[in-house]
Amino acid sequence: MNVKNAMEILVEEALNNYWSQLQLPCKCNICKTDVYAITLNNLPPRYISNENGLAFVKAENFDDQSRVNILNQIVKATGVVAVRPSHEIKPSS
């Protein structure tokens, strides 16, 4: 069986669209992946088994409130990563 959490796709799209606007002391791939993981952990999963399922979930999450929920969780995750990054932040010279 092959299933995927459709929220991974929706969160990745939103994160890529808003990444440059997020306030983080570090914008490396580790921090981006951390924000992504924390966001997914705070949203309910939506498992799909095919492309039709993805289209359905995308349509379901197209309304403003669903997008706001995803962005709200991204902002919260950004706050967590900003305060406690999973790697050392080197001071800029």
The residues, any chain, with a CB within 8 Å of residue 7's CB and separated by 6 or more, are 40, 43, 44, 45, 46, 57, 70
Looking at the domain assignment, is residue 91 inside a domain? no
- Other C-beta atoms closer than 10 Å to the C-beta of 15 total 20
Q: Has residue 92 been placed in a domain? A: no
Asked if residue 93 has pLDDT above 60, the reply is no
Token code pair at residue 79: 């706050």
Check residue 56 and give its pLDDT: 66
**What confidence tens digit (pLDDT) does each residue in 43-90 have?**
999 888 887 766 667 666 666 788 899 999 999 999 999 999 999 887
Number of domains in the chain: 1
* Top-confidence residue, 66 or 36: 36
pLDDT of residue 82: 95
Structural domain including 71 reads 4-83
What global pTM score does this model have? 0.85
What is the separation of C-alpha 35 from the centre of its chain, rounded to a whole number of angstroms?
A: 6
pLDDT score at 32: 97
Asked if residue 67 belongs to a domain, the reply is yes
CA dist., res. 52 & res. 10, Å (int): 15
- State how far the Cα of 77 lies from the Cα of 62, in Å rounded to an integer: 21
